[in-house]
C-alpha cells in the first residue's frame, strides 16, 4: 500500500479529465473535424478466401469519389505491430488486400465529400472474385493439402515460404521432462479449448489524416502507440519521420485491440495523400468485429508431482489460431511458456507451440496476451492435483508458486528477472478468510432444499508482468521516455507519448511526478502531444503504464530535482547538497529549503520566475528508461457461485479480489481495475466467444446475440464484492509501484471453472461455460450415474443367482 509519508501518491483526487469525459466534451478521433475534410469508407470482401480477378471503379469515380485499389497503394509488406525487433519480425500485411484472406478484408477504399456519398461510392465498385476454399480450424489448416492462405511472407528482410499454413513454431525444453513424469507419484492432464473473442471496446477503429504542404502527414489515430504508427507510416509511404506527426488522442477503451497500427490508418493516409485533402475513416461496428480478436488456442497440458505436492515438471503443447495475419505470433508462443513457468516452479518442462493461419479475423493482444488462456488451464489442473493428493488447493499453491527471490520468466525465455516483491501469501490468506474457504462444501454436495441450486467456492491466482523489461536486450522493444518542465508559476508540464486507455494512467503519472517534485496534484499537467514533441514510448501494453511509463516520468523528475536544487543553490548561496524539496500544502507550493539554515528558502515559482526574468533557462529534464525488471503483479480471485441446475445459469454470489500492485498510486482506480477485471473475466468464462462457419463467414454478430459480450443481467451482480491490496513495496518501481491492469482479469475464468466444479462436481475444459454446456454436463453425469446404478443392480442380481 501507499506509505503514510506520501503526500500525493495514494490519495484520491477528482480526475482532471473527468468532467470532459462525463459531459461529452472529450475529443476522440471521431470528434476531430478539419476544414475541407473528406469522409472515407472501405469496400470489404464478402468472402473469407478469394482471388481478386478485377475491380471496376468507374461508377464510383463518376460520383466524384477518390478511389484506391491495390494498384494505387505501396506494395510494402509490413506487420501492424512492431514491438518485435525488425530482424525477426514476420510481415504479411499490405495497405489493401492483394488476395482476400478473411471476411471483411478491405479490397478498395473511397473518400468523398459526405459519409453518405462515400458509402454510395464504395457500394458502386464492382469486384470479380475467384472464391477459394476457406479453412477455419487450425488443426485442419496444418494438414497436407489444406488450402494455402499464404505462399510466402517476409521475415525481417527475407522472403520465406509458408508450409502447411504454419506461421511460427517455438520449442522450449528445460531439465528432463520425460524423467520427471517417469518418477512422478501423480500426474494430471487435460485438453483446454479457448475461443477467439472480439474485444468489444467502446470505440471502433478510426483515423484522421491531413497531408501537409511539405509532403508530410499529421495523423489523429485510434492507437496505443503513436510512435509505432509514425514509424510504420514512414516505412510504408517512404516519408521521413521528421515530417510525420501522430497526435495522441484520448481513446475510448481498447483491451489490446489497438496495440498494433490499426488497418484503417494506412488506408486513411493513402486516401489523404491521393486526394491532397484531409480524410476521416471510421470503421462500423461490423467492420471492427471482423478486424481483431483474442488469440484462440488449444492447450494440451500435463503436470507431474510427488506425493507431498512438490511439482516435478510440465508438458505443454499449444496450437494458436492467429487468423488471417500474423500480429506477433512468435512472441505469443514465447509468452505462453513464460506464463506457465512463472506461475509455478517447474524444474522440468517440455513445450511445443505452433501458430497457424486461418481464414478468420486476425488475433492480437487482448487483456493478458495469452495469460488468461494459460492460467485457465494451469489453475484447474492445480485444483485437480490437490484433489488427487488430498491436499488443500491453497496449500499446494503456496508450496509451489514462483515468488520472492525466484527467477521470473515474465514474458518468455528472453525476459527473465528476479522477484523482489511478493504479496501472494497475504493475498491467499486474506482472500480465503473473507470468502469462507474453510467451510466450503465438498464438490457437488451443497444443494438447496428443493435440489435446484448448487453453491460452490473456488479460487485461482495469477499475475501479469509490469512491462516486458529484462536485464538484457531481447527480441522485444520495451522502453519509455518523458520530459518534465517547470513553468514560471511553479506548475509542471509532463510531456509523454504514453497512452491512457481510460483507466487513469495519466492521473497516476501526474501523481508520481507531483510526489517527486513536491508539487500539488492540481498543478501537474500531462499535456496533449504528438510524435514531433515527445521522445519515444514503445506502447501502453503489458501492464507497463505506471511501472515503465511512470518510471520514465519519475526518472525525468528526479533529474529535474537535481537541476532545481543546483540552480536554487546559486541564488541562496549554499551548496546544492544542503537543499531539499518539500510540499507546503497551506501555500499550495513546492518549497526549496535548507534544513540547516531556517531562513534559506524559496518557492519553486520564485525560482522559475527568476530564471525567466534573468533570461537564464527553463528548468526541464528529459529521460528515456528501459526497465531491467518486469515485476509480477499478483492477483488472487475467490468466488462463490450458485448454479441453477434447471437452467444451467451461473450466478456470482460473492467475490473477493486481492491485488499485489506494490504502492497503490490511484486507490479508487485500482479498485475499478479489479472490479473491471471481474466483469471482463466473467464474460470470458461464461458467455463470450466468436464462431465462423465452414465458409469463413462470421456467424457471431451483434453485441448481445451471437458475438455475446455479457449483457447487464449476465454481468456479475455480486451480493458481496470485496477488494483489497497486499502490503508490498516494489523496489524497482516508481515509489514502490508496479502494475495491476491485465493481472486483474487473468485468473478470473479459472476461478469460475473451479467454483463451478465445486458446486456441481463437473469440470469444464472449454470456454465459455454456457448454460447449455452446464445442462449437457449435468445430464451426462446423471446418465452415467444411472448406468452405474444399473450395472450395480445387475451385478447384485447375477450374484444372487450364482448363490442359489
Residue 794 has pLDDT above 60, yes or no: no
Mean pLDDT of 429-440: 96
Q: Comparing C-alpha atoms, which of 400, 441, 406, 430 is closest to residue 420? A: 406
| Predicted pLDDT of residue 434 | 97
So what's the pLDDT on residue 799? 45
The pLDDT value given to residue 106: 98
pLDDT of the residue at 755: 98
Percent of the chain residues past pLDDT 70, beyond the cut: 96
Q: Looking at residue 1, what is its pLDDT?
A: 45
Segment 673-679 mean pLDDT: 94
- pLDDT exceeds 70 at position 367: yes
Residue 165 is predicted with a pLDDT of: 98
Alpha helices in 436-549 (DSSP H): 505-517
Segment 324-362, tens digit of pLDDT: 999 999 999 999 999 999 999 999 999 999 999 999 999
Residue 627 corresponds to which cell in the numbers above? 526497465
pLDDT for residue 704: 55
Closest CA to 652 of 680, 671, 678, 688: 678
| Residue 718: half-sphere exposure toward Cβ, Cα within 13 Å | 19
Question: Which segments within 36-179 are labelled E, that is strand?
Answer: 38-44, 50-56, 66-68, 90-91, 106-112, 126-131, 152-155, 158-161, 166-174
- Give the domain ranges of the chain: 18-25+479-625, 32-132+202-253+258-289, 296-471+629-769
Contact 149, 101 (CB under 8 A): yes
Report the topology of domain 32-132+202-253+258-289: Aldehyde Oxidoreductase; domain 3 (3.90.1170)
pLDDT at 642 over 50: yes
Mean predicted confidence (pLDDT) in 644-650: 96
Q: Which of 211-225, 248-262, 577-591, 702-716 has the lowest mean pLDDT?
A: 702-716
pLDDT at 250 over 70: yes
CA 227 to chain CA centroid, nearest Å: 18
Q: What is the pLDDT of residue 802?
A: 36
Cell numbers at residue 530, please?
Answer: 504528438
- C-alpha pair distances (Å), 414 with each of 68, 328, 401, 417: 42, 15, 20, 10
Same fold for the pair 18-25+479-625 and 296-471+629-769: yes
Q: How high is the pLDDT of residue 789?
A: 58
> What cell numbers appear for 729 in the block?
513495496
Q: Write out pLDDT tens, residues 274-293.
A: 999 999 999 999 999 999 99
| pLDDT(715) > 80 | no
What gap in Å lies between CA 321 and CA 331, rounded to an integer? 14
Instruction: For residues 226-245, give the mean pLDDT.
Output: 98
With a cut of 80, say whether residue 705 has pLDDT above it: no
Q: Does the domain at residues 296-471+629-769 carry the CATH identifier 3.40.50.10860?
A: no
> 386-409 pLDDT, tens per residue?
999 999 999 999 999 999 999 998
Q: Which residue is listed with cell 469460475?
A: 752
Residue 502 vs residue 506, higher pLDDT: 506
What is the Rg, in whole angstroms, of the alpha carbon atoms belonging to the chain?
A: 28
Residue 556 predicted with pLDDT over 80: yes
Closest C-alpha among 332, 371, 300, 313 to residue 169 = 332
Beta strands in 195-347 (DSSP E): 206-211, 217-221, 244-246, 279-282, 296-305, 311-323
797 pLDDT exceeds 70? no
Residues whose CB is less than 8 angstroms from the CB of residue 227 and which lie 6 or more positions away in sequence, other chains included? 246, 497, 531, 534, 536, 537, 538
Is 307 a residue whose pLDDT tops 60?
yes
SS3 53: strand
Q: How far apart are CA 739 and CA 746, in angstroms?
A: 13
792 pLDDT tier (thresholds 50, 70, 90): low
Q: Which helix (H) or strand (E) holds 269?
A: helix 264-275
**What are the C-alpha distances in Å from 419 to residues 401, 405, 469, 729?**
12, 5, 13, 12
pLDDT digits (tens, 9 = 90+) for 138-182: 999 999 999 999 999 999 999 999 999 999 999 999 999 999 999
Domain spanning 18-25+479-625 has what CATH number? 3.30.365.10
How far apart, in whole angstroms, are the C-alpha atoms of residue 484 and residue 560? 7
- Is the pLDDT at 209 greater than 60? The verdict is yes
Identify the pLDDT of residue 801.
Answer: 38
* pLDDT for residue 299 is more than 60: yes
- Decide: helix, strand or coil at residue 243: helix
pLDDT, residue 160, reads 97
Q: How confident is the model over 32-85, as pLDDT tens digits?
A: 999 999 999 999 999 999 999 999 999 999 999 999 999 999 999 999 999 989
**How is residue 528 written as a grid cell?**
496533449
Amino acid at each position: 500500500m501507499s506509505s503514510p509519508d506520501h503526500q500525493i501518491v495514494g490519495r484520491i483526487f477528482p480526475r482532471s479529465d473527468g468532467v470532459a469525459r462525463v459531459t461529452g466534451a472529450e475529443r476522440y478521433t471521431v470528434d476531430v473535424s478539419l476544414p475541407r475534410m473528406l469522409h472515407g469508407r472501405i469496400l470489404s470482401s464478402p468472402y473469407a478466401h478469394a482471388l481478386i480477378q478485377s475491380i471496376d471503379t468507374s461508377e464510383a469515380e463518376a460520383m466524384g469519389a477518390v478511389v484506391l485499389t491495390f494498384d494505387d497503394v505501396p506494395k510494402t509488406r509490413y506487420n501492424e505491430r512492431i514491438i518485435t525487433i525488425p530482424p525477426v519480425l514476420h510481415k504479411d500485411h499490405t495497405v489493401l488486400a492483394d488476395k482476400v484472406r478473411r471476411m471483411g478484408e478491405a479490397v478498395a477504399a473511397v473518400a468523398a465529400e459526405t459519409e453518405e456519398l462515400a458509402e454510395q461510392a464504395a457500394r458502386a465498385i464492382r469486384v470479380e472474385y475467384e472464391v477459394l476454399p476457406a479453412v477455419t480450424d487450425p488443426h485442419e489448416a496444418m494438414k497436407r493439402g489444406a488450402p494455402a492462405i499464404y505462399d510466402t511472407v517476409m521475415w525481417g528482410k527475407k522472403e520465406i515460404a509458408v508450409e502447411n499454413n504454419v506461421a511460427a513454431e517455438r520449442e522450449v525444453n528445460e531439465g528432463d521432462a520425460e524423467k520427471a513424469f517417469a518418477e512422478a507419484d501423480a500426474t494430471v492432464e487435460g485438453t483446454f479449448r479457448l475461443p477467439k473473442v472480439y474485444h468489444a471496446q467502446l470505440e471502433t477503429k478510426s483515423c484522421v489524416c491531413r497531408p501537409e504542404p511539405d509532403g508530410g502527414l499529421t495523423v489523429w489515430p485510434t492507437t496505443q502507440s503513436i510512435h509505432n504508427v509514425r514509424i510504420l507510416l514512414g516505412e510504408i509511404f517512404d516519408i521521413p519521420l521528421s515530417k510525420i506527426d501522430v497526435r495522441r488522442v484520448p481513446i475510448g477503451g481498447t483491451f489490446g485491440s489497438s496495440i498494433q497500427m490499426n488497418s484503417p490508418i494506412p488506408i486513411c493516409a493513402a486516401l489523404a495523400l491521393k486526394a491532397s485533402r484531409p480524410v476521416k475513416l471510421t470503421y462500423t461496428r461490423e467492420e471492427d468485429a471482423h478486424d481483431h480478436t483474442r488469440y484462440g488456442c488449444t492447450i494440451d497440458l500435463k503436470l507431474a508431482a510427488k506425493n507431498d505436492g512438490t511439482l516435478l515438471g510440465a508438458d505443454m503443447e499449444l496450437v494458436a489460431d492467429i487468423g488471417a495475419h500474423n500480429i506477433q505470433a512468435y512472441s505469443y508462443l514465447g509468452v505462453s511458456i513464460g506464463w506457465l513457468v512463472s506461475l509455478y516452479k517447474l524444474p522440468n518442462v517440455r513445450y511445443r507451440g505452433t501458430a497457424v493461419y486461418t481464414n478468420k479475423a486476425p488475433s492480437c493482444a487482448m487483456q493478458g496476451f495469452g495469460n488468461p488462456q494459460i492460467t485457465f488451464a494451469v489453475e484447474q489442473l492445480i485444483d485437480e492435483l490437490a484433489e488427487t493428493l488430498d491436499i488443500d488447493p491453497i496449500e499446494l499453491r503456496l508450496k509451489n508458486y514462483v515468488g520472492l527471490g525466484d527467477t521470473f520468466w515474465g514474458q518468455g525465455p528472453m525476459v527473465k528477472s528476479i522477484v523482489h516483491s511478493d504479496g501472494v501469501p497475504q493475498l491467499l490468506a486474506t482472500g480465503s478468510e473473507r470468502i469462507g474457504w474453510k467451510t466450503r462444501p465438498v464438490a457437488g454436495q451443497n444443494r438447496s432444499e428443493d435440489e435446484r441450486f448448487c453453491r460452490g467456492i473456488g479460487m485461482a491466482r495469477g499475475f501479469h508482468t509490469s512491462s516486458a523489461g529484462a536485464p538484457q536486450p531481447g527480441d522485444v522493444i520495451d522502453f519509455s521516455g518523458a520530459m518534465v518542465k517547470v513553468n514560471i508559476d511553479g506548475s509542471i508540464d509532463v510531456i509523454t507519448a504514453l497512452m491512457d486507455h481510460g483507466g487513469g494512467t495519466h492521473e497516476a503519472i501526474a501523481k508520481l511526478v507531483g510526489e517527486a517534485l513536491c508539487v500539488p496534484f492540481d498543478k501537474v499537467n500531462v499535456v496533449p502531444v504528438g510524435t514531433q514533441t515527445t521522445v519515444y514510448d514503445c506502447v501502453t501494453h503489458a501492464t507497463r503504464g505506471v511501472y515503465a511509463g511512470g518510471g520514465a516520468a519519475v526518472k525525468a523528475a528526479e533529474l529535474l530535482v537535481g537541476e532545481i536544487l543546483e540552480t536554487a543553490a546559486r541564488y541562496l548561496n549554499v551548496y546544492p547538497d544542503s537543499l531539499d524539496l518539500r510540499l507546503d500544502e497551506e501555500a499550495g507550493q513546492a518549497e526549496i529549503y535548507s534544513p540547516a539554515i531556517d531562513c534559506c528558502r524559496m518557492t519553486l515559482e520564485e525560482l522559475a520566475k527568476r530564471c525567466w526574468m534573468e533570461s537564464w533557462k527553463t528548468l526541464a529534464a528529459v529521460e528515456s528508461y528501459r526497465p531491467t525488471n518486469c515485476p509480477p503483479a499478483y492477483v488472487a480471485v475467490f468466488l462463490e457461485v450458485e448454479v441453477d441446475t434447471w437452467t444451467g445459469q451461473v450466478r456470482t454470489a460473492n467475490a473477493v479480489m486481492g491485488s499485489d500492485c506494490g504502492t497503490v498510486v490511484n486507490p479508487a482506480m485500482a479498485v475499478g481495475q479489479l472490479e473491471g477485471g471481474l466483469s471482463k473475466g466473467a464474460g470470458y468464462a461464461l458467455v463470450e466467444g466468436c464462431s465462423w462457419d465452414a465458409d469463413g463467414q462470421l456467424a457471431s454478430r451483434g453485441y448481445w446475440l451471437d458475438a455475446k459480450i455479457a449483457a447487464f443481467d449476465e454481468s456479475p451482480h455480486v451480493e458481496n464484492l470485496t477488494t483489497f491490496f497486499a502490503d508490498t513495496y516494489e523496489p524497482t518501481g516508481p515509489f514502490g509501484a508496479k502494475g495491476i491492469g491485465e493481472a486483474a482479469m487473468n485468473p478470473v475464468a479459472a476461478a469460475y471453472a473451479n467454483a463451478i466444479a465445486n458446486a456441481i462436481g463437473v469440470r469444464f475444459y472449454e470456454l465459455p461455460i454456457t448454460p447449455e454446456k452446464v445442462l449437457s454436463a449435468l445430464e451426462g453425469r446423471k446418465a452415467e450415474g444411472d448406468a452405474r446404478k444399473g450395472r450395480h443392480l445387475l451385478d447384485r442380481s447375477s450374484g444372487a443367482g450364482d448363490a442359489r
